[in-house]
Structure 1
Amino acid sequence: MCRSCLCFRSASTGFSDKLARFDHPGFRNRPLTRVKICGITNLPDALAAAAAGADALGFVFYEPSPRCVNIDAAKTILAELPPFVTTVGLFVNAEQAFLESVLGRLPLDLLQFHGDETEAECRQWGRPYIKALRMQEGLDLVEQCQTYHSSRGILLDAFVAGKPGGTGQVFDWNTIPPGLEKPIVLAGGLDPSNVGAAVKQVRPWAVDVSGGVEAAKGVKDHALIKAFITGVHSVSE
């Protein structure tokens, strides 16, 4: 099967398409920050997030993560989602055969790479992608934006040695340089108590949360999801 022919879900105004149009003058200064709820493992959580106003849902295909979801479960969830909710697949240094299996069975809109994947490795699948970068000392974000020039955006997360993401740690937002050429998806320890301040300071294109809206690992707290999204919208309208 031709990778470039793998079908997208019909979400013409979805999260990935908005990223694609970021450079259009009408969107460059658009104030509303988007919300991605990551680590979805079951249908009730997915539907609750969509009902609360989530723009995108993230599905983790990385076995060491407590939020990992198998292909069959993800397929069931995706089949029940309402329209205009973007689906994102998260991978960490995945084997090519595994990625082919996932993409051959799931109509994911956007890919999210959290490992050491090169720009060519991210791009080869013929789907829009974002590249996660962990904010460690010495990281040059301007250079990284140029390196991953084919990405739709960059996701900024806290650096914790040995952990590719989902750490629950907040990094210093002051280390983000202004004027980056890629849309920023802000992650790292966000929750209902701090997301408003994060949006006010960073003005990211989107925010990404997982553990900050959980009742337990891999199980979302629906009230926290609502509070998180309300917190974002209250300062970005």
Structure 2
Amino acid sequence: MSRTRIKFCGLTRAEDVRLAVELGVDYIGLVFAPHSPRRLLLGQARMLRELVPEEIAVVALAMDNNSGEIEGILENVQPDLLQFHGAEDDDFCASFGKPFFKAIAMGGEAESAFSRLAQFPSAAGFLFDGHAAGEQGGSGRRFDWRQMPQALEKPFLLAGGLSAANVGVAIRTARPWGVDVSSGIESSPGVKDPETMRSFVEAVRRADANPPA
């Protein structure tokens, strides 16, 4: 049975981080994008990071943050990975010596979006999100999962409009390495809903246990 990795993103509260850990997610995303409603201050992020055990990776999400801000995040929060959502190029993303995911906006022409992958040879993986280029992630917008190729050279996470109700279909359709959810487990931006968090994880596990024929 293949296992779909789960990333909960945009966590802002200790109780949500504790539940994510209890549920056994693979990644916890902390947001530092300047205009995001889920943006954390370094002190908040450091407190949340201390609640995450070694077996779960912490991902710091940035969007056109300058290098000084990224260095401050690395020093204070010590994330395991970085995730870039802006106009950052491969050299910038790789310059911090950390593995990174590059977000690819799927809200426009799919062929154009996929052509961007070659521009990031240093990426550890990609995250395909439903928003348009230049917009914030966490919008809850879906894209057509049938557009995803059946094989990519690097791992990829599916994001954008995922919920407990549709993540099984998303997994069967796109067969991603992982799924990333933020607004789909929230009662309001940055405030996660415990029952929805549980339901999402259960839905992913069901999909893994019942792969398409």
Answer whether TM exceeds 0.5 for this pair: yes
Residue 160 of structure 1 corresponds to 132
2:168 maps to amino acid = G
Once superposed, what is the RMSD of the aligned Cα atoms?
A: 1.4
2:42 maps to amino acid = I
Could you tell me how far 1:175 is from its partner in structure 2? Answer: 1.4
CA distance in 2, matches of 1:142, 1:212: 25
Q: Does 1:151 align with 2:127?
A: no
After TM superposition, list the pairs within 5 Å mapping 1:143-222 onto structure 2: 143-160=115-132, 162-222=134-194
Q: Could you tell me whether the CA contact under 8 Å between 1:61 and 1:70 is conserved in 2?
A: yes
Deviations 1:45-102 (A, max 9, x none): 0011111121110000013111111110110111122331110000001111111111
Taking structure 1 as reference, are residues 82 and 198 closer, same or farther at Cα in structure 2, changes over 3 Å only?
A: same
1:91 maps to amino acid = A
Could you tell me how far 1:143 is from its partner in structure 2? Answer: 3.3
Greater shift, 139-148 or 205-214, is seen at 139-148
Residue 234 of structure 1 corresponds to 206
Aligned match of 2:65 in 88, 94, 97?
94
Q: Does 1:69 align with 2:40?
A: yes
CA distance in 1, matches of 2:139, 2:111: 19
Q: Could you tell me whether the CA contact under 8 Å between 1:145 and 1:181 is conserved in 2?
A: no
Query: How many residues get paired?
Result: 208
Q: Does 1:129 align with 2:73?
A: no
Q: Could you tell me whether the CA contact under 8 Å between 1:87 and 1:108 is conserved in 2?
A: yes
CA distance in 2, matches of 1:101, 1:160: 28
Deviations 1:135-163 (A, max 9, x none): 12154455333221111111000133652
| Structure 2 unpaired stretches of 5+ | none
Q: Tell me which stretches of 4 or more aligned residues in structure 1 moved more than 3 Å.
A: 138-143
Greater shift, 136-145 or 150-159, is seen at 136-145
CA distance in 1, matches of 2:124, 2:46: 24
1:211 maps to amino acid = S
Aligned match of 2:83 in 98, 104, 112?
112
Deviations 1:169-218 (A, max 9, x none): 11001111222211110001001110011011111010000000001111
CA distance in 1, matches of 2:124, 2:112: 18
| Structure 1 unpaired stretches of 5+ | 1-29
CA distance in 2, matches of 1:124, 1:203: 31
CA distance in 2, matches of 1:186, 1:146: 18
Could you tell me how far 1:41 is from its partner in structure 2? Answer: 0.6
User: Between the two proteins, what is the percent identity of the paired residues?
Assistant: 38
CA distance in 1, matches of 2:12, 2:188: 12
TM-score, normalised relative to structure 2? 0.93
CA distance in 1, matches of 2:188, 2:134: 22
CA distance in 1, matches of 2:53, 2:133: 38
Q: Could you tell me whether the CA contact under 8 Å between 1:49 and 1:222 is conserved in 2?
A: no
CA distance in 2, matches of 1:96, 1:52: 34
Deviations 1:14-65 (A, max 9, x none): xxxxxxxxxxxxxxxx710000000011111001111112111000001311
Q: Could you tell me whether the CA contact under 8 Å between 2:36 and 2:136 is conserved in 1?
A: no
SS in 2 for 1:201: helix
